[in-house]
């Protein structure tokens, strides 16, 4: 797979943009919802389902691959949140006629339902879709599917992480769920220390990975009625292992382990002897199978494995360096990749789905300037054609190139990131918008970004950095960010800004910082701790008071999220003074530059009170900020009308405070 990606390093420009400037495009073009996104092919290859906005809500649609019509599936109110707006977050086909659908209320509260592709016979499965009480005395909140049988009942295996009742979220049980009736049955009870389960191609749970702190081990059984046996006792294997999948063709289990460079790599495990072989695929810089997902346009998983159900083997691996790469072990799939790349030479092309018989394959082609399109490869008809485009109004030639960059942090760590440069300009003395990502345990990826492209279209360069803690760069980088909010994470962001100035990319008098969620916090922190570095800043849904967020955010109502926050951010009971010191509300008087604070009134992850606290703190310090409190907006910038309002506010603020971008 080719990767059309340029590099900018050591001040040398390795990929020149177009030689002409373009007109300023309407903000509306960048705010519009995709026409088609998240597409998946039905098991029989005759239909595909996708997400599309419908009057401000993301809903599921199903279309015939021959273009005979589209069905929009309507959603009833969530059973436990009657008056709240509900949208579709994700879905999967469970047979040729039925889908399992994950819904969300205010971006955060999840439920699972099942429905036929015409919207008939809808039943609740779990979460806020279901009013039923389980035998254990709580509600079922399962939403992770680990196996699909594709039988007439649409039977799936799901993980129960005990969010609705007693038990540990780290020790899931395995449920068999009949998506016709909505009934679930526990088929594997966790013996106590299993963190990950492995399922064979027949739907039998045969492998369990044990974890205890940094220790890991494994249990195994040859069939459903066999007794579990320990094939790997708990031991320190450079950290915890994870299950990748079964490779029946090669009679082995594939696991993720840390290689000598502490990057996640794929290793074969002999289930009979417990012997771990040489790495099947490994990299000294990047994770092959990161322990946290890397997603791109349309929610596509950019780092993962492709198992052929027909051949019962690992056919290929898609992994992420600075952009998407695919390695095929199977010659048949490798040949298909070559054919598609020849047909679509200007995009990175990813196999998304295939029919059970392997005759119809759904592909997605995208780039930094192209939001992407879906294509159907029909091997029976020997045809390759476009099915749908995500954003047909976007013209790639008018978009700006996104270049890979890297720079040294003050402690010598090499930080990777991306620089987007306005069309027609070299990366020299440009007004710069620094844009740290959210999470903070997420990452930026190479691909089309509406906000980044909007800012580039307005004449600003945009710098994004994958600071320590970002996904995909190894366990050591992740662990180095533990409890470094307000510390080395922010230093990495500042070091990137100073690198861009020293390299001559940025005009030192015209640098802004803009971020959303954790990125919004990072923007406020940077404005307070480095007040002379930035001309202005924008915080969108940014945390402002870490002690208050532990009490207010709905994330802390979930067991796993609560544990994760305390481990990675800090415990408010033992780290009170540190959390207080790194909260921007407590050093608002140090902020000199103009600030724009944007907040959704219905945000449950970072509640409205966080923005109000910061506005009040700035006003008390005599630094009254601009603010935009958006009704009907939760933690994300959806729906479209709200996103348009936010984008217009950001552009107007930057043009006024940072100055107009280059022509």
Contact call for residues 290 and 277 (beta carbons, < 8 A)? no
Strand-by-strand arrangement of the 313-320 sheet: 304-308, 313-320, 324-328
Strand ranges inside 342-487, DSSP E: 348-354, 360-366, 373-378, 383-389, 402-408, 414-420, 430-434, 461-466
List per-block mean pLDDT (blocks of 10 residues) for the chain, which spans 663 residues. 56 44 90 95 97 90 92 82 80 97 84 95 92 71 95 97 84 96 95 94 95 90 94 84 91 93 95 93 95 85 93 95 95 97 96 96 97 96 96 97 97 96 96 95 94 98 96 89 91 98 98 97 97 97 93 62 75 88 97 97 92 98 96 82 96 98 94
DSSP-derived secondary structure letter, 497: H
Contact call for residues 618 and 625 (beta carbons, < 8 A)? yes
Alpha-carbon 370 to chain mean position: 19
Q: What is the rounded distance in angstroms from the CA atom of residue 612 to the CA atom of residue 592?
A: 19
Q: What is the rounded distance in angstroms from the CA atom of residue 106 to the CA atom of residue 534?
A: 33
Contact call for residues 633 and 651 (beta carbons, < 8 A)? no
- pTM recorded for the entire structure: 0.92
Q: What is the rounded distance in angstroms from the CA atom of residue 47 to the CA atom of residue 356?
A: 13
Contact call for residues 124 and 79 (beta carbons, < 8 A)? yes
* Residue 445 buriedness (CB in 10 A; 0-12 / 13-18 / 19+): buried
- Residue 358 in 3-state DSSP? coil
DSSP-derived secondary structure letter, 79: T
DSSP string, 536-598: EEEEES----HHHHHHH-GGGGSHHHHHHHHHHT--TTTSHHHHHHT-GGGSGGG--S-EEEE
SS3 string, 275-288, reads CECCCCECCCCCCC
Compute the CA torsion angle 506, 510, 515, 519 (nearest 10 deg).
Answer: 60
Render pLDDT for 474-511 as a digit per residue (tens, 0 to 9): 988 888 888 889 999 999 999 999 999 999 999 999 99
Phi-psi region of 372 (alpha: psi -120 to 50; beta: other; left: phi over 0): left
Predicted local confidence at residue 639, as pLDDT: 79
CA dihedral sign of residues 267, 270, 271, 275:
negative
Q: What is the rounded distance in angstroms from the CA atom of residue 41 to the CA atom of residue 63?
A: 10
DSSP string, 226-279: SPPEEEEEEEESSS--EEEEEEGGGTEEEEEEE-TTS-EEEEEE-TTT--B-S-
Render pLDDT for 344-378 as a digit per residue (tens, 0 to 9): 999 999 999 999 999 999 999 999 999 999 999 99
Phi then psi dihedrals of residue 41, to 5 deg? -90, 140
Predicted local confidence at residue 16, as pLDDT: 45
Q: What is the rounded distance in angstroms from the CA atom of residue 374 to the CA atom of residue 350?
A: 10
Nearest to 380 by CA among 362, 358, 398: 358
Question: What are the Cα distances from residue 658, in Å, to 196, 425, 614, 652?
Answer: 49, 18, 22, 10
User: What are the residue boundaries of the structural domains of the chain, listed by start?
Assistant: 7-27+424-657
Q: What is the rounded distance in angstroms from the CA atom of residue 34 to the CA atom of residue 390?
A: 5
Q: Which two tokens stand for residue 250?
A: 């090669």
Predicted local confidence at residue 297, as pLDDT: 81
Helix (H) or strand (E) holding 493: helix 488-502
Q: Which two tokens stand for residue 566?
A: 């305390």
Question: What are the Cα distances from residue 201, in Å, to 83, 223, 577, 616, 640?
Answer: 41, 12, 52, 58, 41
* Residue 279 buriedness (CB in 10 A; 0-12 / 13-18 / 19+): middle
- Residue 164 in 3-state DSSP? coil
Phi then psi dihedrals of residue 654, to 5 deg? -65, -40
Q: What is the rounded distance in angstroms from the CA atom of residue 191 to the CA atom of residue 270?
A: 22
DSSP-derived secondary structure letter, 78: B
Q: Which two tokens stand for residue 597?
A: 């604070």
Phi-psi region of 516 (alpha: psi -120 to 50; beta: other; left: phi over 0): beta
Predicted local confidence at residue 570, as pLDDT: 82
Q: Which CATH number fits domain 7-27+424-657: 3.40.50.720, 1.10.357.10, 3.40.50.1820, 3.40.50.300?
A: 3.40.50.1820
Q: Which two tokens stand for residue 352?
A: 């998304």
Tell me how far apart the 2 most distant CA atoms of the chain are, in Å.
71
Q: What is the rounded distance in angstroms from the CA atom of residue 204 to the CA atom of residue 85?
A: 38
């Amino acid at each position: 797979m080719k990767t059309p990606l340029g590099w900018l390093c050591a001040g040398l420009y390795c990929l020149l943009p177009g030689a002409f400037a373009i007109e300023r495009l309407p903000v509306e073009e960048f705010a519009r919802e995709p026409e088609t996104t998240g597409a998946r092919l039905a098991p029989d290859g005759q239909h595909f389902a996708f997400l599309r906005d419908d009057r401000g809500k993301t809903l599921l649609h199903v279309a015939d691959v021959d273009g005979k019509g589209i069905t929009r599936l309507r959603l009833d109110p969530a059973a436990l949140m009657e008056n709240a707006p509900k949208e579709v977050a994700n879905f999967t086909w469970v047979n040729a006629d039925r889908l399992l659908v994950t819904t969300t209320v205010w971006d955060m509260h999840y439920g699972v339902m099942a429905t036929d592709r015409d919207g008939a016979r809808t039943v609740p499965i779990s979460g806020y879709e279901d009013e039923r009480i389980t035998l254990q005395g709580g509600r079922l909140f399962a939403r992770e599917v680990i196996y699909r049988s594709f039988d007439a009942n649409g039977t799936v295996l799901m993980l129960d992480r005990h969010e609705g009742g007693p038990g540990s979220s780290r020790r899931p049980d395995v449920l068999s769920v009949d998506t016709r009736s909505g009934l679930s049955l526990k088929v594997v009870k966790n013996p106590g220390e299993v963190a990950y389960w492995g399922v064979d191609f027949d739907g039998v749970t045969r492998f369990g990975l044990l974890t205890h702190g940094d220790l890991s081990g494994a249990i195994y059984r040859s069939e459903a009625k066999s007794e579990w046996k320990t094939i790997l006792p708990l031991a320190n294997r450079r950290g915890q292992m994870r299950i990748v999948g079964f490779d029946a063709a090669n009679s082995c289990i594939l696991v993720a382990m840390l290689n000598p460079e502490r990057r996640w790599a794929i290793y074969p495990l002999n289930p009979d002897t417990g012997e771990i072989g040489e790495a099947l695929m490994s990299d000294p810089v990047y994770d092959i199978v990161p322990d946290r997902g890397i997603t791109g346009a349309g929610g596509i998983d950019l780092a993962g494995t492709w198992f052929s159900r027909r051949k019962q083997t690992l056919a290929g691996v898609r992994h992420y360096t600075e952009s998407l790469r695919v390695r095929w072990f199977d010659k048949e799939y490798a040949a298909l990749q070559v054919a598609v790349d020849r047909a679509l030479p200007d995009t990175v092309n990813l196999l998304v789905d295939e029919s059970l018989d392997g005759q119809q394959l759904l592909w997605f082609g995208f780039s930094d300037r192209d939001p992407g399109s879906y294509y159907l490869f029909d091997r029976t008809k020997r045809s390759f054609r476009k099915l749908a485009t995500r954003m047909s109004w976007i013209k790639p030639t008018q978009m700006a190139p996104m270049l890979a960059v890297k720079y040294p942090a003050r402690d010598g760590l090499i930080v990777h990131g991306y620089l987007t440069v306005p069309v027609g300009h070299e990366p020299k003395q440009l007004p710069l918008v620094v844009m740290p990502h959210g999470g903070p345990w997420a990452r930026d990826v190479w691909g089309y970004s509406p906000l980044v492209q909007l800012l580039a279209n307005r004449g600003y360069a945009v710098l994004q950095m994958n600071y320590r803690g970002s996904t995909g760069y190894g366990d050591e980088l992740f662990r180095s960010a533990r409890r470094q909010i307000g510390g080395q994470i922010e230093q990495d962001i500042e070091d990137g800004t100073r690198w861009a100035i020293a390299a001559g990319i940025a005009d030192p008098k015209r640098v802004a910082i803009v971020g959303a969620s954790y990125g919004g916090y990072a923007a406020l922190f940077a404005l307070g701790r480095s007040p002379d570095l930035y001309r202005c800043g924008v915080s969108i849904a940014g945390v402002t008071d870490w002690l208050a967020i532990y009490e207010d955010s709905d994330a802390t109502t979930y067991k796993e999220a609560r544990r994760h926050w305390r481990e990675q951010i800090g415990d408010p009971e033992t780290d009170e003074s540190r959390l207080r010191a790194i909260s921007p509300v407590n050093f608002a008087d140090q902020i000199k530059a103009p600030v724009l604070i944007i907040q959704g009134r219905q945000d449950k992850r970072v509640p409205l009170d966080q923005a109000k606290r910061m506005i009040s703190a700035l006003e008390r310090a005599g630094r009254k900020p601009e603010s935009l409190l958006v009704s009907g907006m939760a933690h994300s910038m959806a729906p479209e009308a709200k996103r348009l309002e936010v984008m217009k506010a950001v552009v107007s603020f930057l043009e006024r405070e940072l100055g107009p971008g280059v022509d």
